[in-house]
């Protein structure tokens, strides 16, 4: 068993790979190529928390709130209802500066969330000129609060490194990589846990599928 308290990822097979879940109060980067399920992984994390009475905040820099709610509904997760119950809050914004991002995120902490998803950080890290120090400050500030955060990040297929900014993978406590690969004319989604501080991890690649119930690992460890 892990020594630190764990927060479920909402994905059973993934919890098994990382000692039972994300370490409580950690900041995790989920980096993936386009359409690999980064947004769904964030929504699934918040839905899992809401079902346990843990308040979650979703901040999108990519999509309109109504589109996020629609996507969740297709997976059987009624975020409209969860918002009414104060278990979920969704915010969409198109920030023009890093300061604006920080202000928005920290305003959200007024709700005292246990879980936070920021989707995606790539536009932020680019707008601040891939400034490692500024990003580090943001992560440290999040860690001063009593929550566990997923920051999604974009990766281009064939690109070197794990994220487009080249910094978030170092500053975060955990890094999960989602990729779509083609082998013998077939497409497969692969998930790999690249790092997870204070956890014993399984670093093999695992096949996953996006189903009507969200992300499911189809090749969990024995
Ligand atoms: N109900 C569903 N059943 C099966 N597959 C689904 C379902 N809903 C979404 N998907 C699949 O999930 C993928 C999109 O997931 P998601 O939006 O989370 O990806 P993403 O990595 O955030 O994409 P982007 O790079 O555009 O931000 C789509 O490619 C779609 O094929
Ligand atoms: Mg997305």
CATH at 97:
3.40.50.300
Domain count, the chain: 1
Atom of ligand 1 nearest to the CA of 178: 21
User: Is 29 among the domain residues?
Assistant: yes
| Strand boundaries in the chain, DSSP class E | 6-7, 22-23, 27-32, 56-60, 88-92, 115-119, 148-154, 174-183, 186-196, 205-211, 214-217
- Which tokens hold the place of 172? 């975060």
Rounded CA gap, 34 and 78, in Å? Answer: 25
3-state class of 169 per DSSP?
Answer: helix
pTM of the model: 0.94
Residues 54-89: tens digit of each pLDDT: 999 999 998 999 999 999 999 999 999 999 999 999
Task: Answer yes or no: is the C-beta of 23 below 6 A from any ligand 1 atom.
Answer: no
Ligand 1 proximity of 179 Cβ (cutoff 6 Å)? no
The answer to whether residue 55 is domain-embedded is: yes
pLDDT band with cut points at 50, 70 and 90 for residue 163: confident
What was the pLDDT predicted at 184? 83
Q: Which domain holds residue 73?
A: 24-174
Is the Cα torsion angle 126, 129, 130, 136 positive or negative in sign?
negative
Predicted confidence (pLDDT) per residue in 121-135, tens digit: 887 777 666 577 888
Which residues are within 5 Å of ligand 2 (an ion), measured at CB?
38-39
Report yes or no on 75 lying in a domain. Answer: yes
């Amino acid at each position: 068993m892990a020594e630190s308290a764990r927060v479920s990822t909402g994905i059973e097979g993934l919890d098994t790979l990382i000692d039972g879940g994300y370490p409580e109060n950690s900041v995790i980067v989920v980096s993936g190529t386009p359409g690999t399920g980064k947004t769904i992984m964030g929504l699934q994390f918040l839905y899992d928390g809401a079902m346990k009475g843990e308040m979650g905040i979703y901040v999108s820099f990519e999509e309109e709130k109504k589109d996020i709610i629609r996507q969740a509904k297709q997976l059987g997760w009624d975020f409209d209802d969860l918002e009414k119950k104060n278990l979920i809050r969704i915010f969409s914004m198109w920030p023009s500066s890093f300061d604006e991002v920080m202000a928005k995120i920290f305003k959200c902490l007024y709700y005292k969330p246990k879980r936070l998803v920021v989707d995606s950080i790539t536009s932020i890290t680019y707008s601040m000129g891939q400034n490692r120090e500024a990003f580090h400050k943001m992560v440290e500030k999040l860690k001063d609060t009593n929550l566990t955060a997923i920051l999604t990040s974009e990766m281009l297929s064939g690109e070197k490194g794990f994220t487009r900014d080249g910094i978030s993978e170092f500053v975060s406590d955990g890094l999960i990589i989602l990729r779509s690969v083609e082998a013998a004319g077939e497409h497969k989604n692969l998930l790999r846990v690249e790092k997870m501080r204070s956890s014993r991890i399984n670093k093999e690649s695992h096949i996953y599928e996006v189903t009507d119930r969200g992300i499911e690992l189809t090749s969990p460890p024995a």
